[in-house]
């Protein structure tokens, strides 16, 4: 029985290097696939829902009425983004675009 010396390095043939490269490429692709964000479907057709701010309404109230299964905070941030609002204040009579529900 012959024992290989521990100091000799492992040598790969050209085919072995190609197989190792393909394996590492497949592992990297699998990891990227696992951590990537899934795509979002396009918005449903038709006009975006809107609301007219009534006296006494706040953005928090409007987001709460239109959250539909989402958090109020996320809905409020979507309303701010859709309407290019810098702050959280709204004025009576203001028209706000609401996020679409899927």
Q: What average pLDDT does the chain have?
A: 87
Please compute the mean of the pLDDT values over residues 96-101 and round it to a whole number: 88
The two structure tokens encoding residue 89 = 């204040």
Percent of the chain with pLDDT over 90: 61
Specify the CATH number of the domain 50-97: 3.10.350
Question: Confidence band (pLDDT; 50, 70, 90) for 33?
Answer: confident
Tokens of 19: 């197989």
CA distances from 76 to 5, 51, 59, 86, 87 (A): 67, 13, 7, 12, 11
pTM of the model: 0.55
Please measure the distance between the N-terminal and C-terminal CA atoms of the chain and give it in whole angstroms. 69
Please state, as a whole number, how many other Cβ atoms lie within 10 Å of the Cβ of residue 63: 24
Name the residue ranges covered by the structural domains of the chain.
50-97
pLDDT, average across residues 26-31: 94
Is the Cβ–Cβ distance between 38 and 79 less than 8 Å? no
pLDDT in tens, 9-23: 788 899 999 999 999
């Amino acid at each position: 029985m012959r024992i290989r010396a521990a100091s000799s390095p492992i040598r790969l043939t050209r085919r072995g290097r190609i197989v190792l490269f393909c394996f590492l490429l497949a592992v990297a692709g699998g990891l990227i696939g696992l951590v990537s964000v899934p795509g979002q479907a396009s918005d449903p057709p038709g006009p975006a829902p809107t609301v007219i701010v009534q006296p006494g309404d706040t953005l928090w109230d409007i987001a709460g009425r239109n959250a539909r299964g989402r958090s109020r905070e996320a809905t409020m941030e979507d309303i701010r983004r859709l309407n290019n609002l810098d702050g959280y204040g709204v004025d009576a009579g203001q028209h706000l675009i609401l996020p679409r529900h899927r």
